[in-house]
Amino acid sequence: MTIEKIILGIDPGTTVMGFGVIKVVNKKMEFLQLNELLLAKYEDRYTRLRLIFDRTIELIETFHPDEIAIEAPFLGKNPQSMLKLGRAQGVAMAAALSRDIPVTEYEPKKIKMAITGSGNASKEQVAKMLQQLLPGLKELPKNLDSTDGLAAAVCHHFNSGKTVIGKSYSGWDAFIKQNQDRVKK
């Protein structure tokens, strides 16, 4: 019996959204696509959010993923940056949840650890390791946001069947149930 699953990985951002798609057949990964959505040319932040939503829907309609893995925003030196990343992530999550596709968040260090064995690996190290793991990935892009999205998908595959630190939602009902404190009544 063949078990197939398609995983879409997303690295959300307000200037670049990276994404990658893998197909898993009987636990063996196949590279399908990686790319990025360039948003820096759009000054209006709401236009950027709409484009993230639209592109995520387009990817869902093209690849029909069974699951979506998304990189969680991390707290850096600038809280405003985290807020912007959180909005981008939320829009991508909303697109997935609007199509009832389960979403799982992964911390950046968890993704790096899953791919390279080190939570402190560089983007270049993650990209090179992805080439080793996915023979179909011949050339690396100049901008590595797309490989970060692909790394989220591979991390999700490696964590399938394991307890994941992070949150996973199978739809709006699950999101609301797990986030009662965020729901206005």
pLDDT in tens, 120-160: 999 999 999 999 999 899 999 888 999 999 999 999 999 98
Within-domain flag for 48:
yes
Domain range spanning residue 85? Answer: 4-179
Q: Give kind and range of the element (H or E) at residue 20.
A: strand 16-25
Longest dimension (CA), the chain: 51
Q: Could you report the per-residue pLDDT of 64-111, keeping only the tens digit for each?
A: 999 999 999 776 667 777 888 889 999 999 999 999 999 999 999 999
Within-domain flag for 75:
yes
Total structural domains within the chain:
1
d(CA 1, CA 43): 50
What pLDDT does residue 58 have?
98
Within-domain flag for 59:
yes
Within-domain flag for 134:
yes
d(CA 52, CA 89): 9
Mean pLDDT estimate for the chain: 89
Instruction: Answer yes or no: is 71 a known binding residue.
Output: yes
Q: Is the pLDDT of residue 164 over 60?
A: no
Instruction: Answer yes or no: is 11 a known binding residue.
Output: yes
Indicate which residues carry an active-site annotation: 11, 71, 145
At 9, give phi and psi (nearest 5°).
-110, 140
Within-domain flag for 81:
yes
Q: What is the CATH number of the domain that holds 102?
A: 3.30.420.10
What pLDDT does residue 176 have?
67
Within-domain flag for 111:
yes
d(CA 122, CA 7): 23
Structure confidence at residue 163 as a pLDDT band (50, 70, 90): very low
Within-domain flag for 185:
no
Instruction: Answer yes or no: is 44 a known binding residue.
Output: no
83-102 in b/e form (b: 16+ CB < 10 A) is ebbebbbbbbbbbbbeeebb
Within-domain flag for 140:
yes
At 160, give phi and psi (nearest 5°).
-60, 130
